[in-house]
Amino acid sequence: MAVMVTLVFCFEAHAASTLQLGTTQEYFDLDAYAEYLEDESGQLDISTIQQQSSEAWKDAAGSHFSFGFSDSAYWFRINLETSGLQDWFLEIDYPLLDDITFYLFSDERLLQEVKTGDVRPFSERPLKTREFILPLKLPSTGQATFYLRVTSAGSMQIPMNLWRGSSFYERDEIETAALGLYFGAILVMILYNLFLYIRVYEPAYIYYVLYVLMFGLFIAGLTGWGYKYLWPEAVDFQQYGLAIFIIMGSIFVCRFTHYFLDLPKRLPRIGQLLEGAVYILLALLILLMFLSYNAIVQMALIMTMFISVVALYSGILLWRQGEVVARYFTLAWSVFLVAVILATLEKFGVLPLWIWADIFLPGGMVLELILLSLALGERINSEKQQRISAQEEVISIQERNKVELEQKVEERTVELEDANSRLELLATIDDLTGVSNRRHFLELGERALKTAKRYKHPLSIVMLDIDWFKAVNDNYGHDAGDKVLQHMVGICNTLDRETDIFGRLGGEEFGLLLLETSVSSAREVAERIRLEIEKSPLDYEGQSIAVTVSQGLYTVDPPQKKLTLKEMLREADEALYEAKGSGRNRVVVSQA
């Protein structure tokens, strides 16, 4: 909430009527004693204001210090006269004002200067109260005039009162106790409905809890208790918190209404309308970072009124259809809508700033919460009866079909197990050669590498590539190429050990992982495979196809902790590339 206020007290003689402070009266409403001046430029300072003619000032009586949303600066002037040294407090009972500067003059002499406001940390306030309270250092006798300068990005409301010290503290104690009870009731509502949500796990209840939470925080921010107790040092949050609470509260109202009234099933068009409202509110929440607070708050208040009307209309329609819970819902939103409309019109300056207006909105909302809680309770009872009937029907069906159901489950389980086994096999095996596919080979390789690292065992990897494989496909056809792959795999399967991991990496390229195998032993295995393949040509349709392989070998003994299988494959592949380049049909070793 971006609001700026500068307050100036000056003890001088002016044409305005004078407020006599020597009486026994304990409290003064300053509305009847004030004059105001609108500074559209916002550039006038106190010295310029003091030089303004009497004609520039307007009588503030009847304005109730409420001017709606305005970019102008407003100055107020009040004449005082004291007769006796007493403690007086100036109360500005609108906690959302940003910057307040207070000057006290007597006979053109500055007596006091105080700066406060919600753009400053709460700890800097003269008195640690929810509203702005300024202790006045008045002389024992004399005349006075005070000037109050206000600018606001939010609603321009400046309710001012003057309190005798003892009376103020008595009033403050009563107000604190009342607000404590109020927020205690809000907390009870939150905990009660949170318990219901945990018990029934129904989305409507959690959205109701969130709505009540946002409502409680909104009232706390509106009354100044939030800044006093919850976020006293979060100045930036104080400026935008109220708008966030309004927007988020309206979003949760939409979602609560959506689930509580089952709008997609009963009133689908209204459900879509509220979903659209949620997107608009989310957009406002994002635009809050870019547009003025003034514009966002006004749009948020309009959206709140719109959503309240739609929710009330939905309740009326379902009430007419015979829904019992819709009666409580409709009564609740009737109360809420009246409260919201009056509060909104007051913020826009259409209605005056009445004393009871600040009580009506929180009171109306609490009454709405009570009625909604009754509606939720009624819904619990209705759903409980429905669940009992449904459970009895399910039990009856289960008893009649128990044997048949068990048989079907058993048959289906066997089918699923067979299907899962087939799928698992297909996911790990290369269709053509019957060895591990690339993904399965890499998975097994990662496990083998972890084991080798843990026990510090040697690990060797061989990459095999069939020489001149493209020529086989070109000269004999792809079927012959497939036979060559199967022929080579069959030879390898007869020579490798049970613990070795063999798989097809792609095309005519294969990988062989030799566990607990040193470089010399791995080379012997690779040479044995090479020689066996070389002396075993493939007999294909009466033709003899010579087959040879080039191999790259890489061994780690032991593997380093940071070594990866990808790095081992790269080293083996480079050795394979060297074998290809140096004549093929050979084994090239690249040892770590």
Nearest to 486, CA basis, from 439, 550, 426, 435: 435
Give the Cα separation of 393 and 559 in Å (integer): 64
Instruction: Please give the Cα distance from 164 to 167 (Å, whole number).
Output: 6
SS3 call for 215:
helix
Distance CA 447, CA 440 (A): 11
Number of neighbours of residue 416 by Cβ within 10 angstroms: 10
* Backbone φ, ψ for residue 332 (5° rounding): -60, -45
Three-class secondary structure of residue 554 per DSSP: strand
Helix (H, G, I), strand (E, B) or coil at 58: strand
508 is catalytic: yes
Structure tokens that stand for 469 in this block: 């494989």
Complete DSSP assignment for 139-160? -SEEEEEEEEEEEESSEEE--E
* DSSP conformation class of 110: E
Q: Return d(Cα 13, Cα 243) in angstroms, integer.
A: 42
Between CA 7 and CA 268 the distance in angstroms is 54
Query: Do the beta carbons of residue 337 and residue 279 sit within 8 Å?
Result: no
Cα–Cα distance between 185 and 224 in angstroms, integer? 18
| The one catalytic residue among 35, 346, 368, 508 | 508
State the helix-helix crossing angle for 519-534 and 478-495, rounded to 10 degrees.
Answer: 140
Distance CA 330, CA 374 (A): 12
Characterise 62 by phi-psi region: left (phi > 0), alpha (psi -120 to 50), beta (else). left
Q: What does R_g of the chain's alpha carbons equal in angstroms? A: 42
C-alpha span between 560 and 516 (Å, rounded): 15
Contact 453, 558 (CB under 8 A): yes
Report the distance separating Cα 369 and Cα 366, nearest Å: 5
Residue of 128, 152, 294, 306 lying closest to 224 (CA atoms): 128
Nearest 10 degrees: Cα torsion 494, 498, 499, 503: 50
DSSP string across 269-305: HHHHHHHHHHHHHHHHHHHTTTS-HHHHHHHHHHHHH
Structure tokens at 105: 């003059």
217 close to 245: Cβ distance less than 8 angstroms: yes
State the amino acid at position 118 in one-letter form.
D
List active site positions: 508
